[in-house]
Structure 1
Amino acid sequence: MSSSPVRRIRSHRTRWRDRRRELAGLVARRVALGLPMLVGLSALVFLLAARSPFNPLAAYLGAGFQRTTAEQRESLSTALGFDVPWWRAWWSWAADLLHGDLGWSRGYAMPVSEVFAERLPWTLLLSGAALAVAVLSALVWGTVAGLHPGSWPDRIVTRVGVLVQAVPPFVLALGSVTVFAVILRWAPVAGAAAPGEAPTLGGVVTHLVLPACTLALTQLPWLLLAVRTAVARARGSEPVRAARARGVSPARVVTGHVLPVSLAPLVTIVGARLPELVVGAVLVEEIFAWPGIAAALIASAQSLDFPLLAALTLATTAVVLLGSLLADSAYLFLDPRVSADV
């Protein structure tokens, strides 16, 4: 009698130890695949920028390019490194990166690390708020729809989700600005603060609501329909029927049996949607003039600012890879049936 709890505890510890071992293997495999991908991607950025039909010196000087002589242009190209072969420029940048130096942004006339320090927190704030809104909304409305399949809430949730799926993110963003900022005047049009004013907590929250909700709306349909399907499937499962037969309250059945089963598919969808979230964040930031990395990314591409463009591309790719790893790791612990052989 007394040995049974001991065996269960040992079995539980063994499962957790095996899971940690599987997780370590998963991390090692993803790192082994991700590092060569990042190296190749950074080199590809320099190669494509060098093969661009645009003149980097003309992009750097702007209107002043026409007022320079051929000798001045040649001297400036040498001083700025525009005449260096792309592979040598990439090698020099990569060597500096290994020492913690992200390079110098010619477009912003400051170190790339300072551009990141100024703009990355704003992008993380917008993306984090949007993801939180999307996940919470999906859990609430997806659960309501899944618990009552065929009801009017289920029909509304399903049809709205399918409809929003078909709308491009930039159309949602432009529509949000037009309706809520221009026509109804419920929210500021753009930026993170009023023109000429320093950002304050209240001002940032006010300016954050509309772009965050818009970005959340671009990702919500997939999360919503995934939760709805998982809840509808879980409500008829054997553990749920057994809990109801024991007289467990409906609220306890939902929170203790239905929702835990629904979290695993939700985590998977969140990981799969991270690339789309990054792309959507760039579009939303540009339309709402949010002071994140989108403006820097577009400016670096237009001005052929190689170090900044490569660093931004690497950073966004690394965020996507890291988010996918975290999602797969969470799924590994949420569903004991899943193997980490991926």
Structure 2
Amino acid sequence: MGKYIIKRILITIPVLLLVTIFCFGIVNLAPGDPTDLYISENATAQQKEQMRENLGLNQPLPVQYVKWLGNLLQGNLGISFSSRVAVTEVLPNKIQATLTLMLATLLLSYILAIPLGIICAKKQGGWLDTLITSFSFLGVSIPNFFFGLGLIFIFALQLKWLPTGGMTTLGQESNAIDSLKHLIMPTVVLSAFYCSNMIRYVRANMIEIFSENYMRTAKAKGLNQHLTLWRHGVKNSLVSIITVASSDIPKMLGGAVVTEQIFQWPGIGQLMISSINSRDYPVLMAINLVAALGVMLCNLLADILYAVVDPRIRY
């Protein structure tokens, strides 16, 4: 297992190199010139060229990439065009905010989805299965922005139970209760899709597992029903659950872009939108790189967990 992990880590090195090329290229080949946002419309050609030189955009793209990659290897992600602050100082707080939202989403989604999926499989075709499945299809279908605005209208504007957005209340000292109130609606919006999606996967997988011979044998031997379910049924479905979860986590970054914008959550998603509007290339490249690293780590963690939950899998 150790050799496999080392091999996977070594494989990620050329993949990361390709990711850096892609991140740099996709951002720098976008239409428009960042200097247009940071200099007067009446500026002379000489002033514009001086601004391009100040931002490091006056050299050919291959030269810019080599310099950026060299700085990256030294832990330097560059200077933000808009704030003139080092990107390494901007990102940590934003990443922490997004990770908080993603962790809350994962916990809520899977704590609800796994038991509900099992219930649907056990009550297949019944009214409870139909009800839960209908809600899961609704959760997958409803757009984040529509659901989020609906929650804001009901719970923030009409009932005034929850704040409309942000991570803390401005002008007040931050505390756990206040932070939890701000976290509820964005977490519910993000969880709607992932919880519904996981319910469908768990239901389909458990229906298949319930029809297996070893489950019939355990039942015929008179083993405790709950013990049979958790020790034999759920344990054998963990591989599928891990597969879905490892693919869901990277998708949450995409969902966070919309959700964070709706609720003004100060995370990576909101930073990405503002960076696109200001053509802040260093920040955009850093966000893309962080997202790519997250995907690779999720895939590696999933492979390791496969071997942990299923002894038949050996690398």
2:33 pairs with one of 55, 73, 77: 55
Equivalence for 1:223: 198
Q: How many Å apart are 1:337 and its aligned residue?
A: 4.1
Q: Tell me, in whole angstroms, the C-alpha distance in 2 between the residues paired with 1:153 and 1:185.
A: 32
Relative distance call for 1:50 and 1:237 in structure 2 (3 A) is closer
TM-score between both structures, scaled by the size of structure 1: 0.84
Q: Tell me, in whole angstroms, the C-alpha distance in 2 between the residues paired with 1:110 and 1:198.
A: 26
1:119 pairs with one of 91, 94, 108: 94
The letter for the 1-side match of 2:158 is I
- Asked if the contact 1:271/1:327 (under 8 Å) is kept, the reply is yes
- Asked if the contact 2:8/2:300 (under 8 Å) is kept, the reply is no
Q: Tell me, in whole angstroms, the C-alpha distance in 2 between the residues paired with 1:141 and 1:182.
A: 31
Relative distance call for 1:261 and 1:49 in structure 2 (3 A) is closer
Q: How many Å apart are 1:269 and its aligned residue?
A: 0.8
Equivalence for 2:269: 294
- Asked if the contact 1:107/1:299 (under 8 Å) is kept, the reply is no
Alignment of 1:42 with 2:20, yes or no, is: yes
The 5 Å alignment of 1:155-174 reads: 155-174=130-149
Alignment of 1:28 with 2:28, yes or no, is: no
Q: How many Å apart are 1:288 and its aligned residue?
A: 0.8
Alignment of 1:284 with 2:259, yes or no, is: yes
Q: Tell me, in whole angstroms, the C-alpha distance in 2 between the residues paired with 1:333 and 1:202.
A: 37
Q: How many Å apart are 1:339 and its aligned residue?
A: 5.9
The letter for the 1-side match of 2:233 is V
**Greater alpha carbon shift after TM alignment, 226-235 vs 260-269:** 226-235
Q: CA RMSD in A?
A: 2.1
Relative distance call for 1:252 and 1:44 in structure 2 (3 A) is closer
- 3-state secondary structure, aligned to 2:38: helix
Deviations 1:36-85 (A, max 9, x none): 33322322333333333312112234xxx225343322222222212122
Work out the number of aligned pairs and report it. 315
The letter for the 2-side match of 1:265 is S
Alignment of 1:187 with 2:151, yes or no, is: no
Q: Tell me, in whole angstroms, the C-alpha distance in 2 between the residues paired with 1:218 and 1:228.
A: 16
- Asked if the contact 2:148/2:185 (under 8 Å) is kept, the reply is no
Deviations 1:125-181 (A, max 9, x none): 000110111111111211111122111111112222223222333333333333333
1:91 pairs with one of 66, 74, 83: 66
Deviations 1:240-280 (A, max 9, x none): 33333333222222222222122221111111223322211
Q: Which runs of 4+ in 1 moved over 6 A?
A: none
Relative distance call for 1:69 and 1:219 in structure 2 (3 A) is same
The letter for the 1-side match of 2:299 is S
TM-score between both structures, scaled by the size of structure 2: 0.91
Q: How many Å apart are 1:27 and its aligned residue?
A: 5.5
Decide which structure has the larger Cα Rg and report it.
Answer: 1
